[in-house]
Amino acid sequence: MKIGDITMKNPVVLAPMAGVCNPAFRLIAKEFGAGLVCAEMVSDKGILYENEKSLKMLYVDEREKPLSLQIFGGERESLVAAAKYVDKHTNADIIDINMGCPVPKITKCDAGAKWLLDPDKIYEMVAATVDAVQKPVTVKMRIGWDEDHVYAVKNAQAVERAGGAAVAVHGRTRVQMYEGTANWDIIKEVKQNVSIPVIGNGDISTPQEAKERLEKYGVDGVMIGRAALGNPWMLYRTVQYLEKGEILPEPNAREKMNICMLHMDRLIELKGEEVAVREMRKHAAWYLKGLPKTGSVRNEINQMTTRDDMSKLLFDYVDQLEEKQQKIS
């Protein structure tokens, strides 16, 4: 897959996820083989007012590249100005515009999924951004606002006409939030009606599903979100399956906790121990998903405040689990 002149080594894309896709997790995703990683969304106004937290979110480690950096906003002027800032002051490869976020706090400012109601406005916005920057501009969208306003094809065509380099489509409406299932037939319709790359997104939870979506719906890339939470192996196993036809085994508990600790140590480097350990509580719970007898360790995670206590808790759990497994075998 190629976006502008940026070539991806495979079609597997880590979805942008707020509170998740910072450099610590993105680098792990890249090391686990993702062809493209997307950063969490950053507010256009936050960038323009030089809000410290927003500017920190623009940091990109060279090892993460190629990387797509996503901005959101509801007004053309500020979005274009933020895109110019990202273009000039970051080493991101792609500038992505969020047109999918369903959260009321965002849509009531005309940002995120609110764009989906007006293809003309999308055209003007994307055209103005493309004119103002050097980096390729892409859009991530949902299929529509609600079932009566599914303008996915028109909206994607507007992006293409405006000079957008690719479009990622999550197969749900704004009103669906995360309910129901993603409608891949509409993603296929988008693919058939534009010639820029289309990245399909929504409900891919196994390597086999990723392959099926690529083949059956003809998309150029597959974007994986929730299935990669605490599970970067999903990315690695998908790449391996697409390239070699092999389904690799799921990781064991120790392998999972080793990567969880690598994730935590990188997050500590970025944000300091206090903030990082708090943030890692949700990630640790995700890394434990699918492992047996995690009830009490999951409860205790939420009391952890230091790296060493968190590490001890997780590896005590692994030791006990391995002891039990040895006894059984």
Active site residue 101: yes
User: Comparing C-alpha atoms, which of 128, 31, 111 is closest to residue 73?
Assistant: 111
Among residues 241 and 317, whose Cβ is nearest to ligand FMN?
241
Which amino acid, one-letter code, is at 258? N
CA 241, CA 238: separation in Å to the nearest integer?
A: 5
Residue 327 Cβ vs ligand FMN, minimum distance, rounded to whole Å: 38
User: Comparing C-alpha atoms, which of 40, 51, 52 is closest to residue 14?
Assistant: 40
Q: How many CA atoms lie within 13 A of 226 on its CB side?
A: 8
Residue 318 Cβ vs ligand FMN, minimum distance, rounded to whole Å: 26
**Residues from 137 through 166 that contact ligand FMN (CB under 6 A):** 140
Interface with ligand FMN includes 16 (CB under 6 A)?
Answer: yes
Interface with ligand FMN includes 18 (CB under 6 A)?
Answer: yes
Task: Find the distance separating the first CA and the last CA of the chain, reported in whole Å.
Answer: 46
Tokens of 17: 């996820």
Interface with ligand FMN includes 225 (CB under 6 A)?
Answer: yes
> Which residue shows structure tokens 């028109």?
154
Interface with ligand FMN includes 201 (CB under 6 A)?
Answer: yes
Residue 293 Cβ vs ligand FMN, minimum distance, rounded to whole Å: 26
**Residues from 92 through 131 that contact ligand FMN (CB under 6 A):** 98, 100-101
Q: How many CA atoms lie within 13 A of 101 on its CB side?
A: 25
Among residues 8 and 187, whose Cβ is nearest to ligand FMN?
187
Among residues 157 and 238, whose Cβ is nearest to ligand FMN?
238
Interface with ligand FMN includes 70 (CB under 6 A)?
Answer: yes
Interface with ligand FMN includes 230 (CB under 6 A)?
Answer: no
- Which of 21, 101, 109, 260 does the annotation list as catalytic? 101
Residue 16 Cβ vs ligand FMN, minimum distance, rounded to whole Å: 4
Q: Which residues contact 218 (CB under 8 A, 6 or more apart)?
A: 188, 191, 192
Count Cβ atoms within 10 A of the Cβ of residue 198 and give its class: 0-12 exposed, 13-18 middle, 19 or more buried.
buried
Count Cβ atoms within 10 A of the Cβ of residue 272 and give its class: 0-12 exposed, 13-18 middle, 19 or more buried.
exposed
Residue 324 Cβ vs ligand FMN, minimum distance, rounded to whole Å: 33
Catalytically active residues, by annotation: 101
Q: Which residues bind ligand FMN (CB under 6 A)?
A: 15-20, 40-41, 70, 98, 100-101, 140, 170, 201-204, 224-227
